[in-house]
Structure 1
């Protein structure tokens, strides 16, 4: 089967105002794809639109200012897809938030907020847009997961849970859609150099996150589009990420010991 080609396609990208989502939007529009860019920060969406339009790509970026957890935002997305022909070729569920800190000492609201943004919202948006994806003869659902959706670590319990949920959802959806025109790609980055951990939910302002290596957001975006183009089912990015995941698959007890939290 030929590679998925973004030229002339219609895509929805959530979390498009910064980081991976912003880079994906720029790469997709540069390749001739119309992008419905969804984000909470109107000023960032405006600057993204100006950057893309300055490059001569008029009408390729279609911004929607809204919260991905709000059904009204889903209404806007669906309405725009309908107005553009009613067929959707790519859905990128990228919007996400995180937190750092002990689960025991955290609030219930922290867990609910992270699960709402990282899992419930993209799952529901996917359900809403599936009829439009199925109307395309060449569609992809691309879910941005994490290596922490393969191997959990301490002090990120809620984030890990949300990404494990996204991992399982992606696998189940892929099986359900087998035989249709819709493919499902799960991309699992490790730490990304972005604004992600600048704003953490109910976390200590001095909280830090250990990681083995990191990639710039645009490198993750490029690898994501490559995975979509090749119709990959799943990709794990970065050497550090692969080491974490595959070491856990080979010897879980060793990883449990290495990752244990000292008290």
Structure 2
């Protein structure tokens, strides 16, 4: 028997199943798993094909994971706070449709408030699902009053859900079209300043928003405008545009995109 491992202090939750374990991560990209697994004995489960009871036996017995090996399971790696459980999200009315699938208003039960939920189509390939998770991995780094906040990703099973801050006023384009009374110059300048502030923050994070259109800005209470929809955004230090034949929204693309294709 091994002594003093983190596993012994987790508590027994076998009746809850694999998905309820804090060290079950679901559809976790390999690069994320490699980042989390640091020390000898660290472990996690990244899909429901793993057998919970087998993990229990190896942890409590201290037996090596493989014959002729000194690999022992010691420390379960818990999900990060932004990795959510699918069952904690209730989908409500449809708000729109995006590249990855539908966008719905919903409820995130642990917080008890309204959220916006991007749903990955179940027919998506593994590569497309990875792209959706990459979008979430980028968004979770950002915190600014003029950027739509990522609450988390539910990736324990298909469909993958990206849960974001719900902005009541909808997109800026429709807001401008439906406005019966013209905005004052002061209001328009304030909205422009909000967008510029959000974009300055993204620039400080080395992020280029590749389609800064009015439809990709959301209007909240007090006419506070938040930059949203990073589906065409990438951390420019790492990611480039791989599909040169993909149509580019010329009117709204950043100069860097048109010049460099990334």
Tell me if both proteins adopt one fold, taking TM over 0.5 as the criterion: no
Structure 1-normalised TM-score? 0.24
Higher relative contact order (CA 8 A, sep 6+): 1
Structure 2-normalised TM-score? 0.24
Structure showing the higher helix proportion among its residues: 1
